Amino acid sequence: MVVLILLNTYPLLVSQDLVFHSKESALASSTKVLESALTGLEELTEENVGKAMERLDQLNVSRVLVTDLDGQVLYDSRETENARGMYVFYTEIVQALRGNDAFFCRYDGQAFVSRAASPVVFRSRVVGAVYAYEYDTEQATLLENLQGNLMKISAVVAVLVVLLSMLLSHNMTQRIRTLLQAIQNVREGSYSTRAQVNGTDEIAQIATEFNRMSDRLQKTEDARRRFVSDASHELKTPLAGIRLLTDSILQTEHMEESMVREFVLDIGHEAQRLSRISEDLLRLSRLDSDQAERAYPVRMEPVLKRVVRMLQMVAQKQEISLTYEADERAMVLATEDDMHQVLYNLIENGIKYSAAGGVVHTQLCVEDNEVVARVNDNGIGIPEEDRQHIFERFYRVDKMRSREIGGTGLGLSIVRDTVENRGGQITVEPRSDGPGTVFTVRLPLMEGGEIA
Ligand code: ADP
């Protein structure tokens, strides 16, 4: 609107101004010509003025008046309304008689009306005035045409702008509505909904980001469902065992005491399993909720020593030897409990999944600003297709074997989440020199911290 209003006013004002200026100079030169024709006349009379005017070429003005000092008209070029002999008191003439040049111009919508007057001077004495008047419709028509054209152009531009805005806003709202619909669907739980928005602009980018977010939501939701169903399944098995055992004891009359003891022992085992699972679940939910304990510098060597000491008995029972080498500089920002858990789970797995005569070797070293812990075993190894899944919750390569030896299927998930919480990462690969597995944990090296 502002542009259109400017377009419709500014050029017109400027052209009017230009016409005024050209009129002023044109009329000024006309009055100069008249004036010079009359110079040298000591006194102006109808006669000498008439003569002087006859000698003059046709001037390009509508009317010329010459008056004497009193304002009485001595000459009028307009024959139809001849004012000769009359006294005129046009403002311009009055000013000219006072010795000043005067000019006035106005545009009345149909014509440019301009008037100019100059004094006629004889020896520094004003003896009369010349007056020129012009009524110009030609320039006015040009200006009117210009105005008309500008109006037409503005109207076309306005219509185009309105149409274009409507089209754009319609297109925009349509796309936003699609996106909104998808957002509502996802909010209501239909995580598989995706927003179909074409293009590369910001709305399309929002849609892409929204789709990615929905992907994540869907994955998280799937994982949550799977986790809940796996967890309840895991809890159900020992509970069912306990019920079966208690029922057997209750329903069998005169059961031998040794038998009862055996059953109660089994119940105890199942209860132990339940408490292991619930402990692991609690630990995982703590890791999930990001309520990690405040980290402090932890020296890894003493932690590793303690873990090896704790597992030595178990290893010996299975005729597996536990060895380690440790770099004293290995220090990380974590908690002792975290690091204990990580090393314990990895070494315990090494023992669990190795046969008698095996060796589980742990190497703790510092490499390029990282503390690296490698746990090697020469046990049964992990098939390639399972390797990418073993960090998932409740994933076991051999369910039966894991259960038999007291595994919950949560150990490696806990290890991975703990390591990642402390800014590190864990990888697994098969041993290069025979059967077995190598787990490698990398954590940022903590240098020169206070030892807790
Ligand atoms: P679990 O309690 O069953 O040991 P984990 O999460 O610790 O659960 O391990 C997941 C699975 O990965 C195990 O069931 C086992 O099949 C496999 N696994 C883990 N560590 C080893 C290893 N050192 N050698 C062979 N298999 C392993």
| d(CA 337, ligand 1 centre) in Å | 21
Atom of ligand 1 nearest to the CA of 398: 16
Alpha helices by DSSP H, listed for 252-398, are 257-288, 300-317, 336-352, 384-387
CA 42 to CA 137: how far, in whole Å? Answer: 38
pLDDT score for 366: 95
Residue entry with tokens 């409740």: 394
pLDDT score for 452: 43
| d(CA 400, ligand 1 centre) in Å | 12
CA dihedral 308, 311, 313, 315 (to 10 degrees): -100
Residue from 349, 398, 400 whose mutation best tests the ligand 1 pocket (most atoms within 8 A of CB): 349
| d(CA 401, ligand 1 centre) in Å | 10
Strand bridging mode 331-334 / 296-299: antiparallel
Instruction: Confirm if 105 and 99 have CB atoms less than 8 A apart.
Output: no
pLDDT score for 316: 95
| Cβ neighbours of residue 290 closer than 8 Å, sequence gap 6 or more | 421
pLDDT score for 246: 94
Question: DSSP 3-state assignment of 94?
Answer: helix
CA 401 to CA 355: how far, in whole Å? Answer: 13
Nearest-CA residue for ligand 1 atom 20 is 349
Walk along the chain (452 residues) and give the pLDDT tens digit of each residue.
898 899 889 988 999 999 999 999 999 999 999 988 898 888 889 889 988 888 887 778 889 999 999 999 999 988 777 788 899 889 999 999 999 999 999 998 889 999 999 999 999 899 999 999 999 999 899 999 999 999 999 999 999 999 999 999 999 999 999 999 999 999 998 988 999 888 888 999 999 999 999 999 998 898 889 889 988 988 998 999 999 999 999 998 888 999 999 999 999 999 999 999 999 999 988 888 877 789 999 999 999 999 999 999 999 999 999 999 999 999 999 999 999 999 999 999 999 999 999 999 999 999 999 999 999 999 999 999 999 999 998 999 988 888 788 788 999 999 999 999 999 999 999 999 889 999 999 999 988 654 44
> Global pTM?
0.61
CA 145 to CA 141: how far, in whole Å? Answer: 6
Ligand 1 lined by 344 (C-beta under 6 Å)? no
Angle formed by the axes of helices 138-187 and 202-251, nearest 10°: 10
CA 313 to CA 63: how far, in whole Å? Answer: 131
Residue from 352, 374, 385, 387 whose mutation best tests the ligand 1 pocket (most atoms within 8 A of CB): 352
pLDDT score for 166: 96
C-alpha distances in Å from residue 39, one per residue of 46, 49, 75, 125 = 15, 10, 15, 11
Atom of ligand 1 nearest to the CA of 409: 8
Laid out side by side, the sheet with 437-444 consists of 321-326, 359-367, 370-377, 437-444, 425-430
C-alpha distances in Å from residue 142, one per residue of 12, 19, 109, 300, 400 = 11, 11, 11, 95, 101
Ligand 1 lined by 341 (C-beta under 6 Å)? no
Nearest-CA residue for ligand 1 atom 26 is 382
| d(CA 395, ligand 1 centre) in Å | 8
C-alpha distances in Å from residue 342, one per residue of 131, 249, 402, 441 = 111, 40, 18, 9
Ligand 1 lined by 231 (C-beta under 6 Å)? no
Residue entry with tokens 């119940």: 267
CA 35 to CA 31: how far, in whole Å? Answer: 6
